[in-house]
Amino acid sequence: MSSVGSERDPRAERRAAAGLVLIGVASVQFGSALATRVFDEVGPAGTVLMRTVFAAAILGAFWRPVAAGLSRATKRDIALFGVTLAGMNLCFYEALERLPLGIAVMLEFVGPLTVAVVGTRNRLDVVWVLLAGGGIVLLAPDIGDGLDAAGVAFALTAGGFWGAYILMSARVGRGPAGLGGLSTAMIVASFLLLPVGIADGGGGLIDPRILAIGLGVAVLSSAIPYTLELEALRRLPERTFGVLLSLEPAVAALVGLLVLSQHLAGRELIAIALVVVASAGALSSAEAVEAPQS
């Protein structure tokens, strides 16, 4: 029997995966902007706790958490994934309380950029990484000149977790747990965040208005992007995924303008152009990987 009709078009696979990443990028930045609305009431830790708990409930409703029948190595990967999610989100929200959205995301991007540099095999990929790095530098004012030092430290730490998130997402998403592994990891992250989240949020965590905002943040910043990114990572190499995420600082700056009234300077517009070119170049040189069969 001919298999021509059932063969996947690699270019179509790349375009589909890139589309998932771009939707996730936009969603998470609007979610970040929304999250800042409740920092005064429940703090960054309380906000990230609401986000994670709601996201765990939403994802668990669609993809049943898994544990039974998995190998010890797979369970360990899911647990590490949960630790990564908790650390990444908590550190980023702590940074977001202290830094403008575009700057926080720019500093956090050191993680994905490192993944792209370390994993590259194609010399052309280095060009895209360098372009993305140039855009990130242009988005950042001089460190130490008006930037909160603790915020910078939190953002860079979040970047380290973000790099680990890319690797763990690929490992869990392509493994036997699939999307059920994501919902399980989100439950792990929720338990890890309980002590700091309750301590920071206090009674505000039971306010109906704040809970509604927390639900919106969970949908925009966790449920939608994490699901889309896991699916994209089943079709793209980690290094290409990391460079595609170079759009994060540019989108964050744009959302900061539209939602938080953070205006763009000329150098920031140049930076946006650089990261867009880098992302387009990464897509053109991507090698599609076969998605596991369900």
Write the pLDDT tens digit of every residue in 169-205.
778 867 666 667 778 888 999 999 999 999 999 999 9
Residue-range domain boundaries for the chain: 13-284
Q: Which has more confidence, 12 or 20? A: 20
Q: How many angstroms from the chain centroid is the CA of residue 167?
A: 12
State pLDDT tens for residues 107-148. Answer: 887 787 777 677 666 777 778 778 878 877 776 665 556 678
* Packing angle, helices 224-233 and 149-174, rounded to 10: 50
pLDDT digits (tens, 9 = 90+) for 243-258: 777 778 888 888 888 8
Contact (Cβ atoms closer than 8 angstroms) between residue 159 and residue 110: yes
Distance CA 163, CA 38 (A): 27
Contact 198, 49 (CB under 8 A): yes
Spell out the residues 6+ positions from residue 277 whose beta carbon is closer than 8 angstroms to its own.
Answer: 131
Cβ neighbours of residue 124 closer than 8 Å, sequence gap 6 or more:
281, 285
